[in-house]
Chain A
Amino acid sequence: MALQVYTASLLKEGLVAYLTLDNNLPSWTTDIHQATAAIDDSLEALKKAAEQSEQDNIVVAPYAIDVIKTDSGIIAATKREQIRATGPTIELPQENIRVSRKAA
Chain B
Amino acid sequence: MYQYSDQDQQLLLERVAQFRGQVARRLKGELSEEEFKHQRLRNGLYLQLHAYMLRVAIPYGLLSSDQMRTLAHIARKYDKGYGHFSTRQNIQYNWPKLEDVPDILDDLAKVEMHAIQTSGNCIRNTTSDPLASVARDELEDPRPYCELIRQWSTFHPEFNFLPRKFKIAVSGATQDRAAVAVHDIGLRLIKNETSGENGFEVYVGGGLGRTPMIGKVIRSFLPKEDMLTYLEAILRVYNTLGRRDNIYKARIKILVHETGEDKFRELVEAEWEKIKAGGLYLKDEDFAWVKGFFKDPDYELLPDNDTEFENLLLSNTDFARWVDKNIELHKQSGYRIVYLSLKTAHQPPGDVTADQMDAIADLADKYSLSQIRTTHRQNLVLSDVKLQDLPALWEELKALDLATPNYNHVTDIISCPGLDYCALATARSIPISQAITERFDNYDFINDLGDVSINISGCINACGHHHVANIGILGVNKKGTEVYQLTLGGSAREDAAIGKIIGPAFEADEIVDAVEKVLSVYLENREDPEETFLMTYRRLGQAFFKERLYG
Residues of A with Cβ closer than 8 Å to B?
9, 11-16, 54, 56-57, 60-61, 78-80, 83-84, 87-90, 92-96, 98-102, 104
Q: Which residues of A contact B537 (CB under 8 A)?
A: none
In the complex, chain A residues whose CB is within 8 Å of the CB of B362: 104
Size bin of chain B's contact surface? 35 or more
A15 and B98 within 8 A (CB): no
- Alpha-carbon distance A95/B396, docked complex (angstroms): 17
List which B27-68 residues lie within 8 A (CB) of chain A: 27-29, 33, 47-52
Question: Which B residues are in CB contact (< 8 Å) with A79?
Answer: 419, 477, 480-482
With a cutoff of 8 Å between Cβ atoms, the chain B residues found around residue A90 in the complex are 348, 420, 430-431, 434
Q: List 19 A-B contacts (CB under 8 A).
A: A11-B26, A12-B99, A14-B96, A54-B33, A57-B29, A79-B481, A80-B419, A80-B477, A87-B50, A89-B428, A90-B430, A92-B82, A93-B351, A94-B353, A95-B76, A95-B82, A95-B354, A96-B355, A99-B399
Closest chain A residue to B347, Cβ basis: A93
| CB nearest neighbor in B for A81 | B49
In the complex, are the beta carbons of B399 and A100 less than 8 A apart? Answer: yes
Instruction: Say whether A99 contacts B400, CB under 8 Å.
Output: yes
Q: Out of A16, A61, A88, A102, which one reaches B399, CB within 8 Å?
A: A102
- CB of B328 closer than 8 Å to a CB of A: no
Say yes or no for B80: interface residue by CB 8 A criterion.
yes
B52: chain A residues at CB < 8 Å are 14
Chain B residues within 8 Å of A101, by CB: 355, 358-359
Interface secondary structure of B, over-half rule: mixed
Contacts of A84 in B (CB 8 A): 49-50
Smallest CB-CB separation from B95: which chain A residue?
Answer: A14
Q: How far is the CA of A99 from the CA of B27 in the complex (A)?
A: 39
Known: A60-B33, A80-B419, A99-B356. A13 touches B98 (CB 8 A): yes
Please indicate which of the listed interface residues A54, A78, A88 has the most CB atoms of chain B within 10 Å of its own CB: A88
Are B346 and A98 touching (Cβ within 8 A)?
A: yes
Residue of B nearest to A57 (CB): B29
Alpha-carbon gap, A90 to B432, bound state (A): 11
B110 within 8 A of A: no
| Residues of chain A with a CB closer than 8 A to B359's CB | 99, 101-102
Residues of B within 8 A of A9 (CB): 47, 51
A33 CB, min distance to chain B CBs, angstroms = 17
Q: Determine whether the beta carbon of B358 is less than 8 Å from that of A60.
A: no
Interface of A is mostly: loop
B6-29 vs A: 1/0 string, CB under 8 Å?
Answer: 000000000000000000001111
5 shortest interchain CB distances as A-B pairs: A14-B52, A88-B420, A93-B82, A14-B51, A57-B29
Query: Whose C-beta in chain A lies nearest to the C-beta of B101?
Result: A14
> In the bound complex, how far is the Cα of B420 from the Cα of A84, in angstroms?
8
B27 near A93 (CB under 8 angstroms)? Answer: no
How close is A94's CB to chain B, nearest CB, in angstroms? 7
B228 at the A interface (CB under 8 A): no
Q: Chain B residues near A61 (CB, 8 Å)?
A: 33, 47
Indicate with 1 or 0, residue by residue over B350-378, a CB within 8 angstroms of chain A CB atoms. 01111110110010001000000000000
Known A-B contacts A78-B480, A102-B399; the reply to A83 vs B420 at CB < 8 A is yes
Q: Determine whether the beta carbon of B81 is less than 8 Å from that of A94.
A: yes
For A78, list chain B residues within 8 Å (CB). 480
Q: Which of B47, B97, B419, B477 contacts A60 (CB 8 A)?
A: B47
Q: Which of B50, B76, B351, B421 has the most CB of A within 10 A?
A: B50
Bound Cα distance A78, B81 (Å)? 29
> Which chain B residues lie closer than 8 Å to A94 at the CB level?
81, 353
300-358 of chain B: CB within 8 A of chain A: 346-348, 351-356, 358
- Per the bound structure, the CA–CA distance linking A94 and B47 in Å amounts to 23
Given contacts A84-B49, A93-B353, A95-B355, 10 further A-B contacts (CB under 8 A): A14-B47, A14-B96, A57-B27, A79-B480, A80-B49, A83-B420, A90-B420, A93-B347, A99-B401, A101-B359
B365 → chain A closest CB, angstroms: 8
Hey, which chain A residues are within 8 Å of B355, CB to CB? 95-96, 99, 101
The contact string, 1 if C-beta is below 8 Å from chain A, for chain B 388-401, is 00000000100111
Asked, given contacts A60-B33, A94-B353, A95-B354, whether A88 binds B421 with beta carbons under 8 Å apart, the answer is yes
Bound CA span A99–B99, Å: 31
Complex CA–CA separation, A95 to B399 (angstroms) = 14
B401, A11: Cβ atoms closer than 8 Å? no
